[in-house]
Structure formats: structure tokens, C-alpha cells
């Protein structure tokens, strides 16, 4: 009887340990065993390159860039407030990074870097208390602080202040502290963010080789109380890839603008 009780107690202990460990356990798929909380590595969209952008530049309105932009939002942008229409609209000469003409090299920042992942990969480097995210486009990077709160008065920057926490196997990243000088996307959105811009990202590794991102924007000065959600992107792990050095080049920026921001009208 004593042996049975010992065996029963051991089984109960193991079952309890398994239940506790399930939310943080590694998963097994046909790609092999992986840790769903390990975002380390170089990631790129599953169909990278400019082909999709070129396809959208074949229609008659390509010169206005109404089709060369890849819209990844599943819901439309909320209407702008009167204040935003007066203060946040950008001039036609402001291209590329949204701050100035493309012959100048200013920071890109977030969330606009997410748009450029169609053409450039990024890398996550994970530590116990911080996650570093490196973007190949213009070699920008940010730090996602874990197990901490935002500072009471964050220094305004183009990347903002990012803090992250795990909700099950989903990394939720909250970013505030923007300087209000960036466009939200390089094309397709004709206004800047305000200094009140607030972004929430949800990153989930859904398989050994797949990473999904779901983003929601908040900007009470631009949209009032209505958020803009539904930005979704999928990325594929690139185990043999390393990020390249791609510093800002006015010449390269102009080539990009000529192809994607202001493409020539198609020939009849």
C-alpha cells in the first residue's frame, strides 16, 4: 500500500508539473522541436522582394501610387480628426522617410520599418531581460525591455520606448514615446503620426519556421478614440541568412522613390 501511495504521489507530481509547464513548453511539428518563446534568428516575409510592388505598379494609376502600395491592413484607417488634417498632413515633397526629401538621410523608425520588411529582413536577439530587434533597412535597431514599465517621461525618439511581456506564447510589445515626426508608412498614408502615437504588437511563433505579427495603432490626436488595427504580417525563419550593412544612401533612396513611391505611369 505504501508503495502504491508513493507511485500515486509521483504520478500526481509529474502531472502537475506537466500542466504548469504546458504554456511555456517547446512544441513539436513536422519541422521539428522548437521553443515557441524563442524568437531568435533572421526573419523575412514568405514571399520577399519587389515583385509584388512591381505588380501593383502596372495599373493606370501607378503614377499616383494608389496600387504600388501593399496594403496589409484588414480594416480601413479611421477618419482623421480636424486637428490632424490641419497639422499632420505631409507635403508632396516629403517622400521616403516622411520627414524630408529623399535626398536627406533621416531615421525611418517604427512602425514604418515593418513596411520595409517586404524588401529587407530583420533579426531578433533574445536575452533574459531584453529583446533586440535589428532591421537591415538603414541598419536601425531597438530594444524591447522585458519585465519593466515605461518611464514616466520617456525621451521622444523615432523608435519610441518599447516594453514587452509574454501572454502565454504571444509576445505583446507596447510602444510609446514617439517624437511625432515619422510617417506611419512610407506610401499609402498621407500624414505623420502625432507625439501621442501608441503601438501594440503581438508576435507569435506559430511553427518552427513561421512567425506572425499583428499590430494595432492608437493616436488620439489623429483618430480620436478609434484605434487602427488589423495590420498582419507573416515571416519565415532564414537560418542561413545574415543581415547586410545597408546605411542610408540618398542615391538609393531616390531609386526606391522612383520605383515605388512615384513610379512612372505605364505605357499605353
* Average of per-residue pLDDT across 83-93: 82
For residues 152 and 52, which has the higher predicted lDDT (pLDDT)?
Answer: 152
Q: Which residue has the higher pLDDT, 247 or 155?
A: 155
Average pLDDT, the chain: 79
Does the pLDDT of residue 110 top 90, yes or no? Answer: yes
CB-based burial of residue 235 (10 Å sphere; 0-12 exposed, 13-18 middle, 19+ buried)? buried
Q: What is the pLDDT of residues 241-257, one digit of tens each?
A: 999 998 888 887 777 77
Q: Which of 11-20, 114-123, 259-268 has the highest mean pLDDT?
A: 114-123
What pLDDT digit, counting tens, does each position of 163-221 carry? 999 999 999 999 999 999 988 887 778 899 999 999 999 999 999 999 999 999 999 99
User: Per-residue pLDDT tens for 53-66?
Assistant: 566 555 544 444 44
The pTM of the full predicted model, rounded to 2 decimals, is 0.77
pLDDT for 50: 61
Burial pattern 184-221, b for ≥16 Cβ within 10 A else e, equals: bbbbbbbbbbbeebbbbbebbbebbbbbebbbebbbeb
Amino acid at each position: 500500500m505504501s508503495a502504491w501511495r508513493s507511485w500515486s504521489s509521483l504520478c500526481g507530481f509529474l502531472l502537475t508539473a506537466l500542466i504548469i509547464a504546458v504554456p511555456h513548453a517547446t512544441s513539436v511539428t513536422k519541422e521539428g522541436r522548437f521553443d515557441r518563446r524563442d524568437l531568435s534568428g533572421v526573419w523575412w516575409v514568405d514571399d520577399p522582394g519587389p515583385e509584388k510592388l512591381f505588380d501593383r505598379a502596372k495599373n493606370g494609376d501607378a503614377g499616383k501610387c494608389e496600387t504600388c502600395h501593399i496594403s496589409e491592413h484588414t480594416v480601413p484607417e479611421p477618419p482623421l480628426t480636424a486637428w490632424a488634417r490641419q497639422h499632420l498632413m505631409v507635403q508632396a515633397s516629403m517622400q521616403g522617410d516622411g520627414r524630408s526629401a529623399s535626398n536627406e538621410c533621416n531615421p525611418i523608425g517604427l512602425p514604418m520599418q515593418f513596411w520595409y520588411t517586404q524588401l529587407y529582413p530583420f533579426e531578433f536577439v533574445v536575452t533574459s531581460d531584453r529583446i533586440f530587434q535589428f532591421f537591415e533597412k538603414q541598419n536601425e535597431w531597438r530594444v524591447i525591455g522585458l519585465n519593466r514599465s515605461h518611464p514616466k517621461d520617456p525621451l521622444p525618439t523615432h523608435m519610441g520606448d518599447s516594453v514587452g511581456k509574454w501572454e502565454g506564447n504571444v509576445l505583446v510589445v507596447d510602444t510609446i514615446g514617439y517624437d511625432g515626426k515619422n510617417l506611419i508608412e512610407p506610401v499609402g498614408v498621407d500624414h505623420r503620426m502625432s507625439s501621442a502615437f501608441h503601438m501594440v504588437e503581438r508576435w507569435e511563433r506559430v511553427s518552427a519556421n513561421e512567425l506572425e505579427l499583428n499590430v494595432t495603432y492608437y493616436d488620439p490626436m489623429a483618430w480620436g478614440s478609434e484605434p487602427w488595427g488589423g495590420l498582419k504580417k507573416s515571416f519565415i525563419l532564414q537560418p542561413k541568412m545574415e543581415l547586410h550593412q545597408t546605411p542610408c544612401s540618398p542615391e538609393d533612396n531616390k531609386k526606391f522613390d522612383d520605383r515605388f513611391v512615384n513610379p512612372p505611369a505605364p505605357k499605353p
